[in-house]
Structure 1
Amino acid sequence: MNQQEIGNHSFDHFYKKFKHGVRLPYDILNIHNIPDGAKQGHFIEIHCGGFGSEISAHPTEKHQFYALTDRGPNTTYDVNGDHGKIFLDPSYTPKIGLFELQTDGTIHKIKEILLKDPTGKTITGLPNQHFGATKEIAYDQNGQILQNGTDEFGLDSEGLVALKDGTFWVSDEYGPHIVHFNAEGIEIDRINAYTQDDRRKSGYLLPLEYANRRQNRGMEGLTITPDQKKLVGIMQSTMSNPNKSVINSDVTRIVVIDLETKAASQYLYRQEANTTVHSNTAIVALNNNSFLVSERDDDFYKDNPNAFKRVYKIDLTQATELESVQETEQFKQDEYLGLLIEGQTLEQYVLEKGWQGLAQYHIYPVAKTLVVDLVERLQYPHDKVEGLWVIDEQHLAVLNDDDYAFSETDGVLEQKYLDRDQQVIDANTLYIINGLDLRPIE
């Protein structure tokens, strides 16, 4: 069906087809005979797929969207205390998929764009060795350490922006890095917090404290303002700033990169619970100052009917821009730790003195209001919500990450079920919600 035919249908039509969720197409990865630790006598089915890390509207085709994979089918394997990860397909290449909504209530995959280094060589999702290395050890499915188990261009891709010029920005959890790819998926530039990284061709630089991101909790969400001039990223959790002693805090950071001036600005976001429980997983612009943000816990509805999966509208205008705070006896702008209050990082200060302590110094987080509780509205069955697509001022699309349909418990691989008794396996699923107020905050 061509775009003109699709365009004759309103999003109310698509809402009726997609309100209960429609699965994205996927293949079964050619990895077999892995016993399912969750269901004796069964073997794990690996979905590929994997287009659940982020979603970005097509800049011109209103019924099309791009979706992003992460670093490939992997899971925790920390049995040796070395931050190990099992990579079931070490050669897996992170990719961007272009999809289209069909009037019959299905989703058609138009193409895939493999991500590549500046020479055009496909990258992998294996950990970096420098510039934000997580020190994770890569293992194969048999628990053996992988030879050549790192990739300096490897990405654990999480955030995606599709620009009007046909290029893409992708943020990740390793550096965090924000990488600019051309329409063919070849890297042309990047932004990170590492001054010695000569891959930063245009000189963009994140505030250096972002090098202190918590392992596997990097820049989970990325968006661009409607004028295409500013990238806006949100960190998944409290950064280990200055170290991991602060990770029980409920403060996360939002960074704005001006693509014209290269200047960076920062704001604080207050989560509804501490970040060992909650994660921010997506951000999408409504205008230059208003955004939607997803916040979630790790629970499944089947296990916890009070699971937390919500979308908030936030506003930057009433929040404190951290880079502009002037140094005083109490405030210091530290090159590697960011704004300090009485010698403490903001993460330390919030953990010790709370948000009231910050307010005494007139430091305020972004204002936030609830847009939709996905558990209340949809009985949202998945553990993760990682993609937000603002279709119009009333319709919002939400996409989950299915982790390639498997997980692990204590190093044992198992199928990721939404319903174990009925053998309903998790999969990337798109929901369209209507009747929302998605207008920017004036």
Structure 2
Amino acid sequence: MRIALTACLLAAAAFPALAQSVTVFEAANPASLSMGDYTAPGQGGKPMALSIGIGSGAWHGADDAPFRFWTVGDRGPNIACSDAEKTLGVKPEAICAAAPKGRVYPLPAYTPSIYAIDLDPATKSFTLAQTIPVKTRDGKLTSGLLNPLTVASTEDALDGQGKPLTHDPNGIDIEGIVRLKDGSFILGDENGPSMIEVAADGRIMRRHVPAGTEKDYAAAGYDTVGSLPALLTRRATNRGIESMALSPDGAFVYFIMQNPLQNPDAKAYSGAVNSRLYKLDAATKKIVGEYTYAMDPVATYPGEKSPANSTVRISELTAIGTDRLVVLERTEVTTRLYEVTLTDAANIWGSKWDDAATTPSLELTSAETGAVQLLAKTLRLDTSKVPEAPVKLEGVALAGDGRLMIINDNDFGIDGARTQVLLIDGTGIRR
């Protein structure tokens, strides 16, 4: 399937020069990030030293100290049952008999949180300065468990002993973050998918979900608004909103879907590259723009063996000006940062592409037909040329001195990864 393949290949081929300098920051006190040990029950269980994941998204505001960053962890440690033998050391049937296609949550009581971290350039270390657990309106801690979804797809969850866990209407999987001038936050939720307004103290004020799914959150401890396009329920499971951005003047919020939708079906998701990027009025939270971002085909990523384009995903979005954005797309090994500019000509909001009956769908439409205008991409960073870069980079922001900050999602230490923060100069990314 050729979906804007020529344009994407040309963009991916024009790699920038090696970054001028890269500084790697490690935790000043690794023990402060410890979540304890876990070993799956049964013969052969592998012991895991779990640690807090703080790198699923990042933010730095103009009023923040030069090296203060706000980050988020996602839904907590979880392992797909299909990976049980490789990751946990036990046969899937030993721990996943109750839900063979589910996920194991070793610490189901984990509360998704917002973190403030401070970098110390002198010691090349970072410290965890503040933790803000996300709560319901009445102060009840949220969980990272799955919501009781009936329209969008979902999964079954098991605890660390293999016992079924109940779906939680207050469960959130936060992966994107922006911070407003009043200290409140807007978070992107991967699972729902949803966009969550959170007060400075961590209380959820409002959750925006796809129209028609409000009833799935009826028991939640906060207001739920069906303000997002109903079409977003066609996201593949756990490929929702992983990225949030805010224009420097605070007027607009942006988010992009992690992958093309399953529109019209899962086959389209597996082979497509066109993902949807949305622009909202920050005051009203109403969508005012929608744009088509073509991800690089998986074949352009060196060493990737899977032929499915769904191997590539988008994990971060950062605004460097009004309608000037940096998009992080990646595989499990390589990360690329692209700069894009939104234009009126590329705005498809309110067009036929928002109609589920449109054939072929946006996801299956090639730019070569002239039917849709893709956002032009300028490559700013390719980590295959940055040997210091860890894998699974998911958070991006600009430090107060103008350098690019990038942080990895360590998956809570499940595979032994540790959190690392990089400051990179020479990318050409500037406000």
- Please report the TM-score for the alignment, with normalisation by the length of structure 1: 0.78
Which residue is equivalent to 1:139? 158
Alignment of 1:28-427 (within 5 A): 28-34=34-40, 43-47=47-51, 49-61=52-64, 62-78=66-82, 79=92, 83-102=101-120, 103-130=122-149, 134-146=153-165, 149-195=166-212, 197=214, 201=223, 205-247=227-269, 248-264=271-287, 265-274=289-298, 275-299=309-333, 308-317=334-343, 320-325=346-351, 331=352, 333-334=354-355, 337=356, 340=358, 343-347=359-363, 349-350=364-365, 354-357=366-369, 359=370, 361=371, 363-382=372-391, 384-391=392-399, 394-406=402-414, 416=415, 425-427=416-418
Q: Once the two structures are superposed, what CA deviation does each residue of 1:172-198 show, in whole Å capped at 9, x if it has no partner?
A: 112111111101100111222134627
SS at match of 1:246: helix
Deviation at 1:319, TM superposition (A): 5.4
**1:409 maps to which residue?**
none
Over 3 Å counting, the alpha-carbon distance change for 1:143 and 1:201 in structure 2 is: closer
1:411 counterpart residue number:
none
Q: Deviations over 1:115-161 (max 9, x none)?
A: 01122100000000036654311112232323xx2110101111111
Are 1:393 and 1:437, in contact at CA under 8 Å, matched by a contact in 2?
A: no
Is the contact made by 1:20 and 1:378 (CA closer than 8 Å) also made in structure 2?
Answer: no
Q: Using the aligned pairs only, state the percent identity.
A: 26
SS at match of 1:209: helix
CA contact (8 A) 2:152 2:234 kept: no
Structure-2 change in CA distance of 1:20 and 1:109 (3 Å) = closer
- Where 2:232 maps in the other structure, the secondary structure is helix
RMSD: 2.7
Could you say if the C-alpha distance between residues 41 and 241 of structure 1 is closer, same or farther in structure 2, counting changes exceeding 3 Å? Answer: closer
Amino acid at match of 1:69: G
Would you say the 8 A contact 1:393–1:439 is kept in 2?
Answer: no
Give the superposition deviation at 1:290. 0.7
Structure 1 residue aligned with 2:3: none
**Contact 2:390-2:420 within 8 A present in 1 as well:** no
Q: Would the alpha carbon gap of residues 177 and 332 (structure 1) be closer, same or farther in structure 2, given more than 3 Å must change?
A: closer
Residue 429 of structure 1: how far off its partner (Å): 0.7
Question: Unpaired runs of 5+ in structure 1?
Answer: 1-14, 300-307, 326-330, 407-415, 417-424
1-structure distance, mates of 2:382, 2:191 = 30
Residues 87 and 316 of structure 1: is their aligned pair in 2 closer, same or farther, counting only changes over 3 Å? same
Deviation at 1:436, TM superposition (A): 2.5
Deviation at 1:201, TM superposition (A): 5.0
Which is helix-richer, 1 or 2?
Answer: 2
The answer to whether the Cα contact below 8 Å between 2:59 and 2:177 also exists between their aligned partners in 1 is: yes
**Take 2:151 and 2:422, find their aligned partners in 1: how far apart are those partners?**
35
Structure 2: tracts of 5 or more residues without a match: 1-19, 83-91, 299-308
- Aligned-pair CA distance for 1:288: 1.1
Greater Cα offset, 236-245 or 288-297: 236-245
Give the conservation status (yes or no) of the 8 Å contact 1:195–1:205: no
Give the aligned partner of residue 6 of structure 2: none
What is the TM-score with the length of structure 2 in the denominator?
0.80
1:286-341 CA deviation, whole Å, 9 max, x = no partner?
11111111111123xxxxxxxx311111111275211154xxxxx5752xx28x3x
**Displacement, 1:22?**
2.6
Paired with 1:121 and 1:132, the residues of 2 have a C-alpha distance of 26
- Deviation, 1:388, is 0.4
* Higher relative contact order structure (alpha carbons within 8 Å, sequence separation ≥ 6): 2
Look up the equivalent residue of 2:246 and give its one-letter code.
Answer: I
